[in-house]
Amino acid sequence: MVRLFRSSAIGLVLVALVFAVVGLTGAVASGGKGKHHGHHGHHGHGKASITSEPFGTAPDGTAVDRYTLDNGKGMVVKILTYGGIVQELWVPDRRGHSSNVVLGFKDLAGYTDGFQQGYPTNPDAPTPNSPYFGAIIGRYGNRIAKGMFSLDGSTYKLDINNDPNSLHGGYLGFDKQNWDATPSQSGSSVSLSLHRISQEGEGCVPSRTPGCTGYPGNLDVTVVYTLTKHNELKIDYHATTDKATVVNLTNHTYWNLSGEGTGDIYNHVLWLNADHFTPVDSTLIPTGAIDPVAGTPFDFTRPEAIGARIRDASNQQIAFGRGYDHNFVLDRPNSTALVPAAKVFDPASGRKLEIDTTEPGVQFYSGNFLDGTLAGTSGKFYRQSDGFALETQHFPDSPNHANFPSTVLRPGQTFTSQTIFRLSTFHHHR
């Protein structure tokens, strides 16, 4: 891939190019869709369908299936019952050529490697799917400081699986469970409903974290993936509990709009609907502050290339995350509206990703810890920043910050959340 960020001036040229191509100067700033021409590729006139095939056996001995959702208009999504993992997502580029634009492994073994070596009780075993490629994340997405929180006078202690903190639900989070699946079709949309009951005490492997309690309450969780005729992948989350608990559910898909395995995402241009972010300490736990992004490398309120400021050694937050690994506070008129969260443009392919959500935040992660040791679906090693994640969420460590939106769920309440990923293309205008 040709580098476009050897100087800030060239970076500005790239952003200006995308402005001109997509008509972003006003449309993106106002949250509008901008100008684009859809392109459905060579398979744009079929019917929507959902099919399944065996995909191996989970570590607990249950059968794993892979479901293929096809909207008949050029977008195909492959989802595993194991971890609810979005394994592949195929969409056409501006020329109609389809590519897989998400990171993942070609077989189940890629996601479960480590269990055979005694994970999680064996501390020397590798962590299966350590980047969490494509997975449902729970009970609590992101980090909880020192793996501890208090609720209604009781203190709960969680797995310390990201020393010194708890990350993404612990050693055996939702990403490492095999879910019950129900496919369905309604008109031109196809859906896959995934369900499981998270038992009280999940989030605790006592041999690894002595004295841990895990999460309180039995949590009944349903996650529904829906592929629409508009090249949208909708994710709807629902959860109820029989005891007060904390819940933060998200999806950890990594994107590369040029195509999986094609190189880094520094040339992708990102817009975020966020005037503020939550700065972190050296262990990536929020300090509790909600700071403005203006004048920092975290200002994506106007579209900016991901790679333009990612190496800014003068910024402590960039240093802590080894790039971007931060929660952005979304600008929204109220606490429940579905609002634009992010837009990403790839000048090379002409692909465009838009994300809408009901969540108050989005974690932008620039793939900083991909280190060239994992080979993806294309058979190529993933190196640093070969993909990015935009995880819609409540804020990290919210149970320990009274000024953050609450993640407490009580009996009689229903946790609901929706995120929409919309794919399209834009064309060069001469």
pLDDT for 427: 81
In terms of Cα–Cα distance, which of 296, 282, 278 is closest to 393?
Answer: 278
pLDDT for 5: 40
Taking the mean position of all CA atoms in its chain, how far away is CA 224? Answer: 15
pLDDT for 1: 37
In whole angstroms, what is the distance from residue 221 CA to residue 215 CA?
Answer: 14
Q: Where do we find the tokens 């090379």?
A: 348
pLDDT for 333: 85
Q: What confidence category does residue 98 fall into, taking pLDDT thresholds of 50, 70 and 90? A: very high
Has residue 248 got a pLDDT over 60?
A: yes
In terms of Cα–Cα distance, which of 180, 204, 200, 201 is closest to 192?
Answer: 180
Q: Which domains does the chain have, with CATH numbers?
A: 8-425 (2.70.98.10)
Least confident of 38-47, 168-177, 397-406: 38-47
pLDDT for 44: 55
How crowded is the C-beta side of 349, counted as CA atoms within 13 Å? 32
Share of the chain above pLDDT 70, in %: 89
Mean pLDDT of 173-183: 98
271-301 per-position pLDDT tens digit:
999 999 999 999 999 999 999 999 999 999 9
Mean pLDDT of 1-27: 44
In whole angstroms, what is the distance from residue 185 CA to residue 92 CA?
Answer: 23
145-159 per-position pLDDT tens digit:
999 999 999 999 999
Mean pLDDT of 35-48: 52
Contact 142, 168 (CB under 8 A): yes
Has residue 10 got a pLDDT over 60?
A: no
DSSP-derived letter for residue 230 is: T
Tokens of 378: 């294309």
Has residue 430 got a pLDDT over 80?
A: no
Active-site annotation, residues: 252, 391
Contact 136, 84 (CB under 8 A): yes
pLDDT for 301: 98
Mean pLDDT of 174-182: 98
Sequence letter at residue 292? P
Q: What confidence category does residue 429 fall into, taking pLDDT thresholds of 50, 70 and 90? A: very low
319-338 per-position pLDDT tens digit:
999 999 999 999 998 778 89
pLDDT for 308: 98
